[in-house]
Amino acid sequence: MDAYNLRRQLDDLRAGTRSVEDVLEFLRDYPYEDLDFAKVDHHRPLRTGFPEVVLGKGKSPTQVAGIVRSLGGRGHPVLVTRTDRAAFEVVREATPSANFNELAAAIVVPADDSIPSRSGVVVLTAGTADLPVAEEAALTAELMGSPPLRVNDVGVAGLHRLLDVRPTLLAARVVVVVAGMEAAITSVVAGMVSAPVVAVPTSVGYGASFEGMAALLGMLNSCAPGVAVVNIDNGFGAGYLAAQINRMESSDNPYDEEKPRHPV
C-alpha cells in the first residue's frame, strides 16, 4: 500500500467505479499481514515511501516464498537480499515473475506498473572483488526509481582510471563508493565532487583488513567532508540512501502523494 494506490482507490470509490467491498478487500491486510512466522508490513510504503525489503539470510526457502507471495501483486517491486538460488526456485513456483540476480544474491519481483526513473546515482567500486556489494546497492537504487551508472575497478592503485571518469562523477547527484582494503578511494572521490558520497566498506582484503574493519574505520575517518558511511557489506543500505537523496528534488516519486508531505 502506498499513497498513490490508496488515493486511486478512494477516488474510484467517490466516482462510483469501485465498490465499498472492493476497497475493503484492498485494505484487508492493512497495516500488516500475519503469516505466523512473519508480520508482513504492507503499510510501509505509505509511511516511508518504499515497500518492505526482505532479508533472505536466516529464513527458509518456504518462508521467503511466503513473504514474497504476500508482498507481490500490490503494484510495487519486491526485493529479497542475501538469498540463494535454492530459495529462488521455491519462490518462482508461487511467483513466476520473480528473477534471480546471481551477483547480488537477490530475488526481484518487478513492479506491476512502470516506475518513473530519475538519473543521478553513480555506484563506484575500487576493485572487482567489491562487485557483489556494489550490485546489491545498484539493484536497490534501481528498484527505487534511481537506475545508477556503474563505474568499476577504479581504485587508488591506478588513479588514472578514476580520473578518466571524472566527468561522470561531477554530473552525479549522489556517489556510492564501494571499497575494501584501506578504502582510500573514498576520500579521493569526496574531494573531487560536490555531491554527497555514500561509502560502503567491504570485507575484502588481507588479514590486517579485519574483514572490513580497516575500510570502515578509513571511511569514518575520511579527511574529506560530505561522506556518510553504512555498515560493512551493506550495499542495500547504501543504495536505499542514495535513492532517497536522489529523489528529494524530484516530484515524480511514485510512492509520494501529489504534494510534498513536509515543507522544505
Q: Which helix (H) or strand (E) holds 9?
A: helix 3-15
C-alpha 140: how far from its chain's center? 2
DSSP collapsed to 3 states, 129-182: HHHHHHHHHHHHHHHCCCCCEEECCCCHHHHHHHHHCHHHHHCCCEEEEEECCC
Alpha carbon distances (Å) from 227 to 77, 188, 243:
29, 11, 16
What is the reported pLDDT for 257? Answer: 47
Global pTM?
Answer: 0.82
Q: What is the DSSP letter of 79?
A: E
Domain architecture of the chain: domains with CATH: 3-109 (no CATH), 121-247 (3.40.50.1970)
Of 95, 67, 66, 164, which Cα lies nearest the Cα of 124?
164
What is the reported pLDDT for 1? Answer: 52
In the structure grid, which three cell numbers stand for residue 42, read together?
A: 504492507
| CA distance linking residue 175 with residue 21, whole number of Å | 46
197-201 and 227-229: which strand pairing? parallel
What is the reported pLDDT for 259? Answer: 37
Run means of pLDDT, 10 residues per run, the chain, 264 residues: 64 82 65 76 73 91 92 83 96 93 95 80 97 97 94 94 95 97 96 96 94 97 95 97 86 46 32
What is the reported pLDDT for 140? Answer: 96
| CA distance linking residue 180 with residue 173, whole number of Å | 23
What is the reported pLDDT for 88? Answer: 96
